[in-house]
A and B are shown apart, each in its own frame.
Chain A
Amino acid sequence: MSAATVHGIIARYESADALLSAARQARQRGYRRMDAFSPMPVHGLSEALDAEDFRLPWLVFLCGVAGAALGYGLQYFVSVVDYPLNIGGRPFHSWPSFIPVTFETTVLLAAFGAVFGMFAMNGLPRPHHPVFGAPGFDRASSDGFFLCVEATDPKFDREEVKRFFADTGAVDVAEVDE
């Protein structure tokens, strides 16, 4: 059993459509641990891979709520509690004038959550990944569309995956070393 020494099997397709249809078929066959690599976003690919993950949207949402609370709270504390100033005879708690800053801090923290959360959840920065060793993988940033079934997939079987890739019209099929 030398399955542990490979990262998975990778296949290269000629077009986004071929990759999309292969990803759909792979899902139908029951493969779950898969990843796809393409030079541009492919519409419907994440749905086909069922790679949707709601942790990041929730993190962004919570960061946004925290940003709103912090922004509003800061202004309330400064203008009402810590250093009240009479500006044009308006009430200290003048909520309309607090809204723009609250909006900005909401966007700021939500954006931080999106960028840093994405980095953390993707395990970035990461200098090396096994698929970089796949032959011709640099074409993933020009004209290559790759689909990789990982060795950790419960249904992973080297020969069967290779046969599956060949059946779905892959141009190259290769093993990816760990």
Chain B
Amino acid sequence: MTGFFGSYLFAWIFWLSLSLGCLGLLLLHQLFRAAWGRAVLPVLEAGARSLPIMAVLFLPILIWGMGDLYPWVHGGDAIDAHRAPYLNMPFFLIRAAFYFIFWVGVSSYLIGLRRRERLTGDVSLAQRRTNVSAPSLVLFVLTVTFAMTDWVMSTEHHWFSTIYGVWFVTGQALSAVAIAALWWRKRQETAAPMQEADFPISRDLGNLLLAFTMMWAYISLSQFLIIWSANLPEETTFYLRRSGHGWDVAGALLIVGQFMIPFLALLSGKTKRSPVMLSRVAGWILAMRVLDIYWIVMPSVREGGVLPAATDVLTFAGIGIIWLVGFVRALRGALPDEADVATAAEAPSHA
């Protein structure tokens, strides 16, 4: 059964990371209200609305998969004993509940406020969104750090890394901007296209993709460089496990595919200005994000080579379909954003 829950964890973490990325950008948007954020707000809200589904999809792991995935459940050595006050089943469950209650709570509150703003025309509610989002953003980064430490890092028996949470936060934001860029292309093609000269949304999204691509590379390298330089046995296990059986090839592919190719492509203003070209880069980045999560999760939960098992593909597709159905339905029901975009042009723009 280990094989199955390893696959399940990988698939669940990937799709969860899309929702969390959307929530992170949703919170960030409330602080800036830049034109790009107004334009892609429906996507961010729809992504965040899949969080309750993801909470339900966590239950199989909690009920049947814990023993297979997390070595600390069995305990055994002095380090496990030392960590037991934190890493134990009841506290693990309480924390998981807290993360999801916070994420679902803050996203429904923000979406609800905007809906009320639409209905009543009370613009003061926008300020309330900002007031809630500022402290929530801090708590968001903290909860994602703790969640990823609990759910992914603790699949490694003794290994630890303090930059791990930020690594995920950045990767999630990268995924979310990529989804927004894909949606923006579709929007430009179907709805009345907006003047790109007036609203350089595509360029802004491209610049964000570039920034998060660089940040992802920066954090990935920082973690590797620190562990490589110190060369301590308990820290190097993570990379040693990923230095053979094809995992080294996958890692090299990530350096080229998730950093070098998007980085060079996004340096060009031409790529960023065209929603079509930008959507291709965004699609490529999303594909690399799948590989990235696979590379982070799988070697810790399953012995063996880099080639995916049938369960990897099936769980990925299964959770993916559930996520996508939820996302598309939320997107259909989302508030339109034309009015917000129009006001962005009237206010002096500093996007």
| A interface residues with partner B (beta carbon < 8 Å) | 16, 43-44, 47-48, 54, 57, 61, 88, 96-97, 99-100
* Closest Cβ neighbor of B267 among chain A residues: A61
- C-alpha gap A43/B36 in the complex (Å): 14
Interface pair B225/A43, CB less than 8 Å apart: no
Task: Please tell me if B221 contacts chain A, counting CB pairs below 8 Å.
Answer: yes
| B interface residues with partner A (beta carbon < 8 Å) | 197-198, 200, 221, 224-225, 228-229, 231, 267, 269, 348-351
Nearest 4 Cβ contacts at the A-B interface? A43-B349, A47-B197, A96-B228, A96-B225
- Main DSSP-derived SS at the A contact region: helix
| Minimal beta-carbon separation of A60 from chain B (angstroms) | 9
- By a CB distance below 8 angstroms, the chain B residues around A99 are 221, 225
| Minimal beta-carbon separation of B317 from chain A (angstroms) | 36
- By a CB distance below 8 angstroms, the chain B residues around A43 are 200, 349-351
- C-alpha gap A16/B350 in the complex (Å): 13
Interface pair A97/B229, CB less than 8 Å apart: yes
- C-alpha gap A44/B349 in the complex (Å): 10
Interface pair B231/A88, CB less than 8 Å apart: yes
Interface pair B269/A57, CB less than 8 Å apart: yes
Interface pair A48/B197, CB less than 8 Å apart: yes
* Closest Cβ neighbor of B218 among chain A residues: A103
Interface pair A96/B224, CB less than 8 Å apart: yes
* Closest Cβ neighbor of B231 among chain A residues: A88
| Minimal beta-carbon separation of B274 from chain A (angstroms) | 14
24 sampled A-B residue pairs with Cβ under 8 A: A16-B348, A43-B200, A43-B349, A43-B350, A43-B351, A44-B198, A44-B200, A47-B197, A48-B197, A54-B269, A57-B269, A61-B267, A88-B231, A96-B221, A96-B224, A96-B225, A96-B228, A96-B229, A97-B225, A97-B228, A97-B229, A99-B221, A99-B225, A100-B225
* Closest Cβ neighbor of B195 among chain A residues: A44
- By a CB distance below 8 angstroms, the chain B residues around A88 are 231
Of A43, A47, A61, A88, most B-chain CB atoms within 10 Å? A43
- C-alpha gap A48/B267 in the complex (Å): 22
| Minimal beta-carbon separation of A47 from chain B (angstroms) | 5
* Closest Cβ neighbor of B228 among chain A residues: A96
- C-alpha gap A44/B199 in the complex (Å): 9
- By a CB distance below 8 angstroms, the chain A residues around B267 are 61
Interface pair A44/B197, CB less than 8 Å apart: yes
